[in-house]
Structure 1
Amino acid sequence: MVHLEHRLARADVIGEGGFTYEDWELLLRRGDEVRAKVRKMGPGFCRLPYDDPSDMVRFARERRGMYSDLVVVGIGGSALGAIALISALSHPYYNILPEEKRGGPRVFFSDNVDPWQLRGLLDVLEPRRTLFNVVTKSGGTAETVATFLVVRRFLEDALGGSWREHVVVTTDPERGDMREVARREGLPAFPVPPDVGGRFSVLSPVGLLPAAFAGIDVGELLAGARDMDLRLKNSSPEEDPAYIGAALNWIFYGKGKRMTVMMPYSRALKELAEWFRQLWAESLGKKLDLEGKVVQVGPTPLRALGATDQHSQVQLYVEGPPDKFFTFIVPEDYGADFVFPEYYPDLDAMGYLAGRRMSELIKAEQIATAYALAEAGRPSMTIKLPKVDPYHLGGLLYMFEMQTAYAGELFGVNAYDQPGVELGKRATYALMGRSGYEGLRGEIEKFLGGIVI
C-alpha cells in the first residue's frame, strides 16, 4: 500500500520551518469540506479507473507483432503520462533489447517541433514496420498536427496509399480536425473523454494505448487506481494521503515555500516527476481565483532524481533560500539488487560496503538527504510504495491527480483550465498565418516592434 510520512515536516521535529499543531488542526478542519466539493464536482478523471480497456488492449495485442516501432506523436499531457508509464514499467533499456526479449515494438515519442530531432527520429525508422499514434485531445494542437503532416508525407512517399495502416489516432470522440481526418481517411481512433483534461488523461487511451503496445498490464494499472479511489473515499482527512499531500503543500505555500520539489529515489520514477510537474503547474498556477479576483498563485514544481541530484542540487536545497517543500518517493522493492563484494577491505572508501546491498545504499541516501534538510529546517514528506509495478503505479498516479484536485480547492482556483496556455496557442496561430487570427498578429507585431520568423 502507498504510504505517506510527514514527520520531517513538523515544527516540533525540525523547528520553525515546519508546520505547527494549529496548522494541522486547520487542514483537518477543512478536509471534509474540500474533499466533498471535489467529489460533488466529479472530475472526469475520477471515472477513468472504471472504464473498460478491452478494445484498446485487443487492438494492441493484434498489432504488436506487425510493427517494430511505435511513435507517439503528442505534446504535454498527450505524451508525458505515457512516457512516465513506459519509463517506470518497462526494462530501463527497453528500446535496445533484442526484439525477442522486448516482445513488442520499440517506443519513441515525438513531443516537440524541433526539426533536427524529428529528422533524426525518421532516420532510424523503417516506414513499413512503424505505427504512429497521433494524440491530440482538441484535434488541433499545432505541434501535433504539424508533425502528423510530416509523418504522412514520410509514410506516403514510402508506402503510397497504405500509409493509413500505419497511423492510429487518439483524440476527442466527436469534434476537432484530427477526428475529421480519422473519418476521412478511415483511420482507427480511440477517444479522449471530453471532460478529461490532457494533464489528467494518463489513465485514458492517451497513456494506456502506448503502454499496452509496450506489454504493460493496463488492467492492473486501472485496478490500482480503482483501489486508491476507494481508499480515498473511505478514509478520514487525516488518513487520506492525497488530501494530506495537498494540504501540506498549501500550508507551506502560505509559509513562503513557493516551490515544491519532487525527488524520487528510483530511476523508474524519474519521468513520473516530469508528469507531475505539468499536472501541478498547469492546474494551480492561476491569475484569478474562483471568484474572479486577481491572486496570481501557484507553487512552482521542480524535479530532482535521487541519488543523482544530491551531487547537483542538494547544496542549494540545504543552504539556499528556505522556499521549498520536498516530496520524496521511495520503493521498498527495486526489482533488482546487488551485494557489494569484499574487495579492498583495507580501504576506508570501500571496505564498509562489503556485504551490504545496493538497495540499502540508495535508501540510506534518501534518509540522509531528508535528515540534512530537516537539520536545516527544510520540511519534507516521503511517499513509500511496495514496488514499482502496474498496480502500485496506477494507485500513485491517481493519488497525485486527486491531490491536485484537492489543492485546487485549497488554493481557491480552477484546477482544470489553462488560460495562460491558450493565449500562447492563439499567438502561435496568428504568427503562422491561421485564418481568423489576423488582428492578433497585428497586435503582436506592434507589441514586439516587428516580427521575423
Structure 2
Amino acid sequence: MTVNFSFDEKINLNFEKRAQRTLKSLRLKIKDENDLLFHLIPKQKELNEISTTADEIIGRSNTLIVAGIGGSSLAGKVFASIKNEREIVFFEGIEPRKIARAEKSIYFKKCFLNIVSKSGNTTETLVNSAFLLRKIKKANGENWKEKVLLSASEGEGVLLKWAKKEKIKILEIPSQVGGRFSAFTVAGLIPALYSGLDPNKIAKGAQKGLENGLSLELNSNLAFKLSQFYLSAYKKNLPNLVLWGYGKLCHLLSLWIQQLWAESLGKKKTSPSGEIKTGILPVALKGSEDQHSILQFLREGRTPNSVLFISENYKGEKLSAFEKKFCGFKQERLHYGEVQNALKEGTKRSLEKDNFLISEFSLSDASEETISETMALFIVSTLIISDFLKINPFGQNGVEEGKKITKSLLF
C-alpha cells in the first residue's frame, strides 16, 4: 500500500460481522450499471475521450479557468496541487473583489474555460460563468466557443440547455455519480490532466483503493478501519471530527474529505422514537498554521473532539548550516519535512495527553496514484458508515431551503 492507516478500537461484537455483510452488498453493486460504484472509475473509452479533450485544451491555452463549486472543484484542486505544470484558476463562490481583479490579472485570450456543474443550475457557477464567458467572448471574438467546455450530467439544467443551443462541447458526468463522489470523472480529471498528471495512473490508484476498500479481509481493509474510527467517535458522542492536514496537498485533501463526510453523513432519519440527526461535524484544519489558532481551544475548550491527522512522508530540502544555526537546531541532518513532522507530532502527542480519539492517515508520496487510492478509500468508507447509520449518503436535502430562499431574492 502507498498509504497507511491503523485503528483497532472495537465498537461491539457484531461490528465486524455487519461490516462483512455491508461489503458483500457493495461488491455486488460494482456490476450494477445504475449504481455509483459501477461508474466511480471511468472506463478506458471515457479516459481516452477526456485525455483527448485535455490535450486540445492544453494546445489552445496557457491558463485553465474552472468555474465550479464543492464537488465540482475540490477534487480538481487536490489534483492540481500535485504537479501544477500549468496555471489553473478556480472560480468557486461569489467573490466580488476577485471578479474586479480578474480584468487585470487574467489574460483571457490565452485562457480556456471549463464550466463544471452536475445539475447545471448552481447559482454561484451560473454567475461566475456569465462573467467569464463575457470576457472570453470579448478576447476571442467569433472563435470563443473553441475555448469553452461544459462538464455536467444529462437533465434539464440551465447550463446544459445553453451549451446545446450554442453547440459548446459537453463531457458528461454520469448521473449516478453525485458531485462529491465525482473526483475520477471529467469534473476532477480535466484539471488533473491539464496540470500534467497521468490519467491511467489516476485510474490505477482509484482501482487499488476500491479493491482494498471492498476487501473482506478486514485486518488490511483501510476503508473499514476509517469507518471504524468514525463510528467510534460517533458512539462516544464526540460532536466534531478534526481533519488536520499538514502541507498544502494534505490540507486540500482534508477539505475534500470534509465535504464528502459532511454532506453524505449529516442526515436526518426517522425512528419509532422520533426524528434523529446523524453524523459528526468534520472540521478541516491546516497544518501548524492552525496550531496557532485552534489548538488552544481543542486542549482547554469545552467540547471534546476526535482528530484524524493527514500527512505525507516527504522530507523536502535539507536545511543549510546557516539555517540550522539561525534557528538553533542541533540535529546534524535536518530536512524541512522533518521540521513539519515535528510540529505535527508535538500537536498529536499533546492531544493524546487529553485522551482525544486520535489516528493518522499517512501518504507515502504525493503521486496521482497515491492520492486517487486515498480518495477511493474515503469514498468506500463513506458508504460503509452510511450503511451502519442506516442513512442515504446521496443527496443533500439540508441545503435545498437555503437555495430556494436565495432564488427568491435574486429571480
TM-score by length of 2: 0.91
Structure-1 separation of matches of 2:390 and 2:14: 16
Runs (4+) of structure 1 exceeding 4 A deviation are: 40-43, 289-293, 342-345
Structure-1 separation of matches of 2:193 and 2:172: 16
Structure-1 separation of matches of 2:271 and 2:196: 42
Candidates 361, 364, 368, aligned match of 1:390? 368
Tell me the CA shift for residue 259 of structure 1.
0.7
Alpha carbons 2:39, 2:177 under 8 Å: kept: no
SS of corresponding position for 1:263: strand
Alpha carbons 1:28, 1:238 under 8 Å: kept: no
Taking a change above 3 Å as real, the CA distance of residues 29 and 258 of structure 1, as seen in their structure-2 partners, is farther
User: 2:390 aligns to what?
Assistant: 412
Structure-2 separation of matches of 1:140 and 1:82: 20
Aligned pairs for 1:317-332 within 5 A: 317-332=298-313
Candidates 334, 344, 347, aligned match of 1:369? 347
Aligned pairs for 1:238-257 within 5 A: 238-257=219-238
Taking a change above 3 Å as real, the CA distance of residues 357 and 281 of structure 1, as seen in their structure-2 partners, is same
Alpha carbons 1:340, 1:357 under 8 Å: kept: no
CA-to-partner distance for each residue in 1:368-402, whole Å, 9 max, x for gaps? Answer: 32222111111111112210111100100111111
Alpha carbons 2:212, 2:222 under 8 Å: kept: no
Bigger Rg over Cα: 1
User: 2:63 aligns to what?
Assistant: 69
User: 2:125 aligns to what?
Assistant: 144
Tell me the CA shift for residue 161 of structure 1.
2.6
* Structure 1 counterpart of 2:13, one-letter code: E
CA-to-partner distance for each residue in 1:220-261, whole Å, 9 max, x for gaps? Answer: 111101011122233423321112211221122121211111
SS of corresponding position for 1:256: coil
Taking a change above 3 Å as real, the CA distance of residues 351 and 332 of structure 1, as seen in their structure-2 partners, is closer
* Structure 1 counterpart of 2:399, one-letter code: V
CA-to-partner distance for each residue in 1:302-360, whole Å, 9 max, x for gaps? Answer: 111223322222222223335211111222235x2214426786x9x614134322222
- Percent sequence identity is 24
CA-to-partner distance for each residue in 1:46-77, whole Å, 9 max, x for gaps? Answer: 53324221111112113313212111001111
- Structure 2: unaligned runs, 5 residues or longer: none
Taking a change above 3 Å as real, the CA distance of residues 203 and 356 of structure 1, as seen in their structure-2 partners, is same
Alpha carbons 1:70, 1:133 under 8 Å: kept: yes
Superposed CA RMSD: 2.3
Structure-1 separation of matches of 2:25 and 2:274: 20
Alpha carbons 1:263, 1:304 under 8 Å: kept: yes
Taking a change above 3 Å as real, the CA distance of residues 67 and 290 of structure 1, as seen in their structure-2 partners, is farther
Tell me the CA shift for residue 79 of structure 1.
1.0
Aligned pairs for 1:22-421 within 5 A: 23=11, 25-41=13-29, 43-45=35-37, 47-52=39-44, 53-87=47-81, 89-90=82-83, 94=84, 102=85, 104=86, 106-173=87-154, 175-289=156-270, 294-334=275-315, 336-341=316-321, 350-421=328-399
TM-score by length of 1: 0.83
User: 1:425 aligns to what?
Assistant: 403
- Structure 1: unaligned runs, 5 residues or longer: 8-18, 95-101, 434-453
SS of corresponding position for 2:339: helix
Alpha carbons 1:173, 1:190 under 8 Å: kept: no
SS of corresponding position for 1:333: coil
Alpha carbons 2:65, 2:90 under 8 Å: kept: yes
Alpha carbons 1:202, 1:208 under 8 Å: kept: yes
Tell me the CA shift for residue 40 of structure 1.
4.3
Taking a change above 3 Å as real, the CA distance of residues 60 and 276 of structure 1, as seen in their structure-2 partners, is same
Structure-2 separation of matches of 1:168 and 1:195: 21
Alpha carbons 2:7, 2:226 under 8 Å: kept: no
SS of corresponding position for 2:119: coil
Alpha carbons 2:117, 2:152 under 8 Å: kept: yes
Structure-1 separation of matches of 2:323 and 2:239: 47
Taking a change above 3 Å as real, the CA distance of residues 107 and 342 of structure 1, as seen in their structure-2 partners, is closer
Please say which of residues 315-324 and 35-44 is displaced more in the overlay.
Answer: 35-44
* Structure 1 counterpart of 2:93, one-letter code: N
